[in-house]
Structure 1
């Protein structure tokens, strides 16, 4: 049975993790397109404020305070969506949490909690949506990651959970296809996205986490999600840099390992000191209507790769461009011997220099640590912003540079409540 999806203005869309980052931007864009919205997250104050904002703009929206790691809460999201709107057409499983640090130092309780949210929360949502959409049709959109295929050093458990998300999503899709159910099942795989994700993560490092370059705007993911809500997609990789990582994983895995160890890991740490077990979003809601996070480099506002991927006619061009890009990154990293300085400052300096200067011996310092961000072919885009606020443009609502006070919820981890790190009540 061919899956027929409605246009956005005729849809009711459920979005989990709607209080910040990708979920927040997706909600705002869907509202502008005329969709009715069911917004779910753990942060009630943020949800109430967002719902009021969207209703004031003429959108019909409700919110449900829910923790997707609890199946009863997910069932309640579906129930309230049907009570308010009679039905829903698209379910977006976006809620997620992360942990930064060496996996051998992390508590088992923290690891389990991450999987409860990232994997089981997505499973619960997918099953609720499948039950409702099996006969009426619609879309299930699961937000995975490029880390569904590649593992990021110092984000091991997050990567593992996203691998599991891909396995589940692919299996659900094929089973529904086998029974000819009119449901489109899509896996969205973002590269690094400039959201409060690193700041809301449980951190075991001595420095505040940040994204390694390049990072893309959350709008790039929202575009892919909403496109998949109207036109069936199997999977959508957001950001050309993610394609490069996948190419290295397939063709030069040893080189990718060396890159992760010597370049990616240092770039994951900001210059700001942090302490273990600070408040995070692992156990408590941390969303405060922030779209952007603490990424220090130039945020890529568009991804030409993803735009082309969503246009089937451009597939041949994508394949050709990706081959050239992967060859370039392998060549650049190999020449440097994998000995980058790991500094994003080197990235910005090199990026701001003319092409002939960037080839000089002096400019070559730190080349391997920034190749993914600067190699030709990753994404032929014009950077229009720098960091969270942008360079030369006024901050907009939800886009101000995130600080610990801005993006962390009032509640600390359960680990801070007089118990041993990572313990659960």
Structure 2
């Protein structure tokens, strides 16, 4: 049974089979050398200590080999991206040929929509959640306009019921049932950045496929955070960044999934680049594009090795731990934070993230009454690194790789003290 004592937190940390992984990360320090309470991994993950060695290896090979590093580095640069493929595929539930690490998230989203948003006069609409991350909104709007449609007419936004904050799965499925014949593409976030709601992607995909809709997901807040089985769920494509829960560093290289049923489709248009060309003839420098099979065929340029090395270092930790163990700790640690927050006797704050652990990751979104940002500012001054999202939410994410139960306990104590002070 959970309780509100510090002894409980200390006991849980002692029992935590993943506790040693906290020491694999740099925890930012305050001016008095006390570690911050860092709950912002849903925005930027902390730096794994082993990243330095991985990146320095490539710097050393560049220093000593120059261009020959493409073939003779310790980890030759030509196929370097393939070192990450299996690790990445295991996190998203894909086959190795379905996954590639490349570009940045919104670039990948545009590349995917070039291929998979194929509007017709009768089926031209895109279904997405209300209040999706702005970059997704901008990308979808621009693609719709590019094809000559009015976003007001072509974009269907899933809006919660009156008086509610979260989307109900039955309402999403009902929308697909009623309007599916008009929908060319379902393009939703896997986890909503604001509420922390993890959508039931398997059910959504199944219904969308019944209506012959193409299905894509932005997994920026889902990858490395929640269970994913993209291949089994029959998702057409997905994109994600790697600097949040995957800890690749600010602006780190992103990833992409394309289901294997599309790997040899000649009818799909795509924006081509030479790194996506058949590697057996790439250096013949011919004028005609022949794509590699699988997700690699959507690559454009040779990838940046230093960001790849940083992500490779972090993914090695995921490979050691495994997603099942991470999710098990995540659910218990997040439930503990939820329990402590609900024990705070106040009407100044409330949780808007789903209570069902299968419908959220580790993020909890705390709504502040009257959108008073002062509470966020005061807990920041007390050593909490979280983030504020307009108009009224403090987002906190107890990440299982490096956050402890004592972190959570101390955060709840600070928040309770500030809530009670009425500042």
Q: Which has the higher contact order (CA 8 A, sep 6+)?
A: 2
Structure label with greater radius of gyration:
2
TM range (shorter): under 0.3
TM-score by length of 2: 0.28
TM-score by length of 1: 0.28
